[in-house]
Structure 1
């Protein structure tokens, strides 16, 4: 047995012992009542269903509604600590697809914690499936069906308001740390929301969030620069954009056509996506003329 295997074995045993002490095993016949919600989209759904009284903790990305911030924070969605999760004595974990790391999720399963991975995706259908999955775990299927219908109607109304008369070219900038510009490519939440709001993503030559070369940024001739509202080291002011050797040369920077939105609203694909589409569509129209 390697040292790493021994360490995992010891940690697993410790987690199991802690789970027994805390009494965290779920009784199959009971709906969970002490839930850790991992993923901002999932947490928003729980609140929208009116079942927030069952939450005992949340992850760092769960910052809406504001009331959620009063819950204990068990860490970032992809860097969860099993010990931290178990410390709040949960009987269930609702985890957005991709939560982890995988070994942490495995240890929590070994501790007899029920876990449901809530499916991802960036479509109306995916949002409905996400809502229904959460509602099923909470044993409130009727509430789930009603919420899914309401959210879908809001998305439909927002899409109806997108005129399509003008399709501005949009670049979503995730970060520009060290001068390297990370953008949202194809098959990302950024790409999907830009398209739904009537824009054209200029970074579809690749999948995922990746660096874009300065030459590609300049030749993209983006009409609008889209970013999340951020503070601190991750913030990027209009002056920073204009001073950047590539971003500063885009029509967007020259015209001051920069749109900033709350990250979870913009990219969450949850119960507020109708609002996100309508807000972004209006912003694109306002700044791109």
Structure 2
């Protein structure tokens, strides 16, 4: 990410908003009505939109935490979509994409987050905030309804026109990588850290990931057998797919010391009994939320051919936290290390 210019701007409007917000908690509803007002418009600041009732309600429901970095040194940077973005106010952050949400919280800006999308499931505080649609089903109207000062999302945002629609409304949108590799995951953390002027914290997060991945690699070097793994990505009965080459699941299996049994194709394809039985996996992995959507592990194992595999016969079937693993976020190293240890235990049985 390329830094273009910087300057320091004290957001007086944000300070007034915080004063009004604190006063509203101690005053009657009549005082709330008087003091709820919008942030004043400073010179060079984006044009304010009139608050909708939903925005006013959201402000009152937001967890009572002190936002950070109110005296923010503005920065102009280039996102991974090639668009230059000036960020001068991080008091009201909207994150779209579970990985981005985790990064923003890990950098210490959780108190500033005013809304996330439904793919954001960590940390648990996000469930106290307004929830937007999925990353790939976004709408400018729903994003703008949260009155963000900055939107941070990934190149997977869809429809593609949404980002420009939000920008046209005067709100900066920072686009970072949609990562399916360690290198892109680290670059994404660096980019968000730079955008929020928290480069040192971003470096600490990356260092922790690298340390945990190195520990996982040490364990893998001591394993006698590299297990064959079938990763089944499911989100309920309507979607039960096998993960092929080039997927995030494929990368995670490799990072944890396994080898993907599916090498014939890239991407995802529907699970068939023939594919399950012929692959003869040592281990079967599936996302925990997907297993739950199928009604639990017993129902999951009723999927075509799974009970006939060596993995099933040996009890080597695991539901894994894909938010920790497939999002390629700050907990990537932790998740890979835990999965490596579990694989080691299974293969030593």
CA distance in 2, matches of 1:29, 1:122: 27
After superposition, the C-alpha distances for 1:118-177 in whole angstroms (9 at most, x for unaligned) are 113333322221111101111222222232223222222232222342111111111285
Equivalent residues, number? 269
Counterpart of 1:167 (choices 206, 222, 226) is: 226
Shift of 1:231: 6.4
**Displacement of 1:226 after TM fit?**
0.2
Report the TM-score when normalising by structure 2. Answer: 0.70
CA contact (8 A) 1:35 1:56 kept: yes
Q: 1:41 aligns with which of 83, 99, 117?
A: 99
Higher relative contact order (CA 8 A, sep 6+): 1
Q: Is residue 191 from structure 1 mapped to residue 250 from structure 2 by the alignment?
A: yes
Contact kept in structure 2, 1:187 and 1:207, CA below 8 Å: yes
Residue 95 of structure 2 aligns to a residue in which SS? strand
Query: 49, 67, 74: which one pairs with 1:21?
Result: 49
Of 267, 275, 278, the match for 2:337: 278
Of 172, 196, 203, which residue of structure 2 is paired with 1:145?
Answer: 203
Equivalent pair of 2:155/2:175 in contact (CA under 8 Å): yes
| Cα offsets for 1:191-216 (capped at 9, x unmatched) | 01111111111122211122244322
The 2-side partners of 1:180 and 1:100 are apart by: 20
**Is 1:248 matched up with 2:307?**
yes
Question: Do the aligned residues in 2 keep the contact of 1:159 with 1:277 (CA within 8 Å)?
Answer: no
1:68–1:204 distance in 2 versus 1, CA, 3 Å? same
Q: Secondary structure at the match of 2:103?
A: helix
Which residue of structure 2 lines up, in the alignment, with residue 90 of structure 1?
Answer: 148
1:75 Cα shift? 1.5
Bigger radius of gyration, 1 or 2? 2
Structure showing the higher helix proportion among its residues: 1
When residues 278 and 207 of structure 1 are mapped into structure 2, their CA distance, relative to the original with a 3 A threshold, is same
Cα separation, partners in 2 of 1:208 and 1:46, compared to 1, 3 Å: same
**Segment of structure 1 superposing worse, 193-202 or 26-35:** 26-35
Whether the 8 Å CA contact 1:188–1:207 is kept in 2: the answer is yes
Range with bigger deviation, 244-253 or 172-181: 172-181
Query: For the residues of structure 2 that align with 1:69 and 1:242, how far apart are their CA atoms?
Result: 30
Alpha-carbon distance, 1:22 to partner: 4.4
Give yes or no for the alignment of 1:128 onto 2:186: yes
Cα distance between partner residues in 1 of 2:238 and 2:49 = 50
**Rounded Cα–Cα distance in structure 2 between residues aligned with 1:193 and 1:231:** 17
Gaps of 5+ in 2: 1-46, 52-73, 76-85
Aligned residue number for residue 11 of structure 2: none
Q: Hey, what's the Cα distance between the residues in 1 that align with 2:146 and 2:239? A: 40
- CA RMSD, Structure 1 to Structure 2 (Å): 2.5
Q: 1:118 to 1:243 in 2, by over 3 A?
A: same
**Contact 2:87–2:195 (Cα < 8 Å) also in 1:** no
Structure 1, unaligned runs of 5 or more: 1-18
Q: Say if 2:283 is the partner of 1:224.
A: yes
Per the alignment, do residues 258 and 136 of structure 1 end up closer, same or farther by CA in structure 2, a change over 3 Å counting?
A: same
What residue in structure 2 maps to residue 57 of structure 1? 115
TM normalised by structure 1 equals: 0.84
The DSSP-based 3-state class of the residue aligned with 2:132 is: coil
Which stretch shifts more, 67-76 or 148-157?
Answer: 148-157
